[in-house]
Amino acid sequence: MRLTLTQRLSLVFAVLLLVCCGTSAWMQVRSNQMHELEVVQGLSRDLAQHIARDTVLMDTQGLMPGAVRNLFSQLMLVNPSVEVYLLDTEGKIVGSAAPEGRIRRERVDLAPIQRLLKGDALPILGDDPRSVEGRKVFSAAPLKVNGKPAGYLYVVLLSEEHDRFAERGATSAALNTALWSIGLVALLCLIAGLTAFALITRPLRRLTENVSRFDIDGVPQAPPASVPVEKAASHDEIAVLDAAFRQMQARLSEQWRSLTRQDQERRELVANISHDLRTPLASLHGYLETLSLKDATLSPADRRRYLGIALDQSRKVGGLAQSLLELVRLEHGFVQPVLERFSLTDLVQDIFQKFELTAEARQVELKATFAPNVAAACADLGLIERVLTNLFDNALRHTPQGGEIELSLRPQGAFIEVTVSDTGPGIAADLREGLFLRPFNIGGARRDGGLGLRIVHRILQLHGRDIQLIDVPGRGATFRFSLPVDQQTAEQWAVRSMNVNSLGK
């Protein structure tokens, strides 16, 4: 039969309580008996001495049988709870008033008699002549004839008559009362103990139910809101265990949602990259096939135009492949920032020179706004250059002719705030959720399959920073991030980023 923990604890408690109550009852009865024996022997300790002093039981001829029997019979009639015996110097019974055949011992051990005569602590039990193995309290006195030891007067203080009377009534009633009292106390203790076990194990039962409902093979569910544990209960192991399980369940649920979201994002990314690759590859294949089939009939101008288009599509495919490889390296920890101090104003000038011709061809103005005394930034120069390059490339793609792209630098405490904005159509509200994590379209044109902004987001994450899309009146898409200006701050944010990423994995 399978029992719950509460049932097993209750059963063990009941058994232990029964054993303790039984032991307590036995010790109580035993203690009362020993106390009674001590009182009886203490009160009658000198009885044998008085009898021996006031009565002549022996003469020079030895035992006086008639005097002994008469005296013993009179004493036992006056006090039926005593039995009187006469012993020789070896402990042999030489006289008594016992009926024929009632004496079961021929000899009484003298060691207890010697202990009584020396005054040892009571009670002292001696041999019962009317029992083979029984022992009772007694009184004893030495007998002398002409100054020489002649034997002992041995008085058993609790006779057979006393035992029969005690067994018949008084002892039984007292024992029943004691047993009923102990039983009632045991019952009350059992009820109190079972109630206490039910209250103590209630949190454990609740935790067991929560664990049993947890499906390890299913989708982890977020735990229901629980009552906060008070500080006084912070040392309750079951409460601590329940809180730890709820935290684990919440963490698993959060990780499951994160993995599901990441898997969906990867699926979308793969689908969009496949679409982005399919278009230039199909165009590249078509123009190369045309060149192969119609090479003899094409004019030099057509041949150059077809080759130019094929090269342009090939560059698009190469750019996508390079961006995808770069994103993989960033997301799998193959790239770690090397922190160094550099001038952001110089870097911005380099970026402007890189896009100057493209901007002129598209009739887009590049504008830089620097606050006075912009300090040097502390970051990875190559990675930050890649961030600005991606942001400018996206801005150029979606800024119409006559538009403007502006980059501004402004000190912000221990950081430098970098803002890149354009005058394009901006990004709709429904596309902003997960903007840096999934591909998106703006007016039917895809921004690098979403890889450009995803790479920007990941690079800034490695620096412990974040990028935001903000709303600025009169502007299109405006991105803002910040970079630390001193080595210590940069290292602290980078270490924090590593810890967060390790926990997320």
Q: What is the dihedral of CA 479, 485, 491, 492, to 10 degrees?
A: -80
DSSP, collapsed to helix, strand or coil, labels residue 124 as: coil
The residue segments making up the domain with residue 272 are 237-328
Give the C-alpha separation, 469 to 349, whole Å. 23
Give the C-alpha separation, 466 to 469, whole Å. 10
Same domain, 24 and 125: yes
Q: What is the pLDDT along the chain (505 residues), one digit of tens a residue?
A: 577 766 777 788 888 888 887 787 778 777 877 888 888 888 888 888 887 777 766 666 666 666 666 776 777 666 777 888 888 888 888 877 777 778 888 899 999 999 998 988 888 999 988 888 888 889 998 888 777 888 888 888 887 777 777 666 545 565 677 777 777 888 888 888 778 777 777 777 777 777 777 766 555 665 655 545 444 445 667 777 777 878 887 888 888 888 887 787 777 777 777 767 777 888 888 888 888 888 778 888 888 888 888 888 888 788 777 777 777 787 777 788 888 999 999 999 999 999 999 899 999 999 999 988 888 999 999 999 999 999 998 899 889 999 999 999 999 888 999 999 999 888 877 777 767 765 544 444 444 446 788 888 889 988 888 898 888 888 888 999 999 988 887 777 766 666 545 444 4
Same domain, 275 and 156: no
Same domain, 87 and 154: yes
**Does residue 36 lie in a domain region?**
yes
**Does residue 115 lie in a domain region?**
yes
- Whose structure tokens read 């684990």? 248
Same domain, 322 and 341: no
- Residues 442 and 453 sit within 8 Å (Cβ to Cβ): no
Q: Determine how β-strand 468-470 pairs with β-strand 478-484.
A: antiparallel
Q: Kindly state the DSSP code that residue 169 receives in the 8-state scheme.
A: I
Same domain, 347 and 376: yes
- Residues 191 and 226 sit within 8 Å (Cβ to Cβ): no
Same domain, 136 and 11: yes
- The last residue of one of the domains, among 303, 328, 353, is 328
- Residues 175 and 28 sit within 8 Å (Cβ to Cβ): no
Same domain, 256 and 393: no
**Does residue 301 lie in a domain region?**
yes
DSSP, collapsed to helix, strand or coil, labels residue 248 as: helix
**Does residue 163 lie in a domain region?**
yes
Same domain, 314 and 451: no
Same domain, 341 and 247: no
Helix (H) or strand (E) holding 103: none
Other CB atoms within 10 A of residue 345 CB: 13
The per-residue b/e assignment along 371-408, b for 16 or more CB within 10 angstroms, e otherwise, is eeebbbbbbbbebbbbbbbbbbbbbbbbbeeebbbbbb
- Whose structure tokens read 């007292």? 174
- Residues 135 and 127 sit within 8 Å (Cβ to Cβ): yes
Give the C-alpha separation, 463 to 418, whole Å. 14
Same domain, 287 and 368: no
Structural domains in the chain (count): 3
What is the CATH number for 64? Answer: 3.30.450.20
Same domain, 274 and 404: no
Q: Token pair of 19, please?
A: 């054993």
